[in-house]
Amino acid sequence: MKRHLLLLIFLLVCLLLNAQRFIGGRLNRGRAYTTGLLDVVIHTYTLDAPVPVIKINWGDGEVEGVQSNGSDEIGEGIYRNYYNFFHVYESPGEYTVSYVDSFWVEDILNLENSGEQYFRLEEKVVFSDTSLVNIPPFIRSPFPVNYSIREDGTIDFPVNYIEIELDEVALRFRPFPGEGYSLPPATDTLTCCIQWKTPPAPGRYVFAMEAADFRNGEELSTNTLLIALDVPAVLNTRKEESYNFQLFPNPVTHTLYIYKKFDYTCKGIQAVVFNNFGQRVFSKEYECKDVIEIDVKGLPSGLYFMQLQSGSKLGISKFVKE
């Protein structure tokens, strides 16, 4: 009883210290090695102060205070907080694991009244008598030092996942857990990264993304990532350079030809192919010539994205492999 009272006091102190201060987080849940045992990992990012204790609602009537496994300052005044814990469900069923705490940072452009919006992470988990051992996907959070924004407005972030016994991992946008959220019109695709087709106004934007893993056609687990990205003013004032190229034939079965007229300033070109799940399946450096040949006969049938980059110039086009 005394232990729970101390945890409650810690929680109240944390709420006061970190009000309106969350700038991102992720919740990774995956079934563990025993049916009914759930393994949960949470990372959060806060301004000005770490969060030593959080409160988890397991969705089965139990609410538990959990202490941090550690916090570190990864940027000036930016803290990353780690939590890893387990819970045993007594009976099969569908449960929602949730963590609600304090508020988002103020002045997020695509989240109304963000300073008054609760920071929320939640995931559904389903247990049955035949639940499989699961190795979940893992989004390595890009915030705040590992993401990059190119001059054309493309935001790159790293995605790692464990490939053991998985058929595929899909990366996708998901509904945001808050009222007044809107996805900027420029952000209408998510392949390898967030595509700003027309750079938005400068400022801070928040996104909800998830990775989902599949085995034998069954979606086994998901990993949620909520992240606030700062878009600099230079993106809004820069005129986007035209960087178009042609792919032929499209659809293609064996050899894909890239047609592009390069100017004298081109020192080399990198061709990268992503599949429809955002996974890089091909990457190679080429000389700047009008026709580039790529052997794609080994790729499975489906939709792909060809990315060409030379210096700061970048272009993306779709093709279909038959």
User: Is the pTM of the predicted complex or chain greater than 0.95?
Assistant: no
Q: Which helix (H) or strand (E) holds 31?
A: strand 22-31
Q: Is 141 buried (19+), middle (13-18) or exposed (0-12) by CB count in 10 A?
A: buried
Task: List pLDDT tens digits, range 222-241.
Answer: 778 888 887 765 555 444 44
d(CA 124, CA 218): 15
On the question of a cis peptide bond just before residue 202, with omega within 30 degrees of 0, the verdict is: no
Strand order, beta sheet including 53-57? 63-67, 53-57, 93-103, 118-127
Asked if residue 282 lies in contact with residue 271, where contact means CB atoms within 8 angstroms, the answer is yes
> 246-321: what fold?
Immunoglobulin-like (2.60.40)
- Tokens 């080429």 -> residue: 286
Kindly state the percentage of the chain with pLDDT values over 90. Answer: 14
Number of CB atoms found within 10 A of residue 151's CB: 15
Task: List pLDDT tens digits, range 22-40.
Answer: 988 888 776 655 667 888 8
Task: List pLDDT tens digits, range 274-309.
Answer: 765 556 788 889 988 888 999 999 998 887 878 788
* Confidence (pLDDT) at 294: 93
DSSP string of 213-224, one letter each residue: EEETTEEEEEEE
- Domain layout of the chain by residue ranges: 2-237, 246-321
Residue 51 has pLDDT above 80, yes or no: yes
* Confidence (pLDDT) at 59: 93
Q: Is 121 buried (19+), middle (13-18) or exposed (0-12) by CB count in 10 A?
A: buried
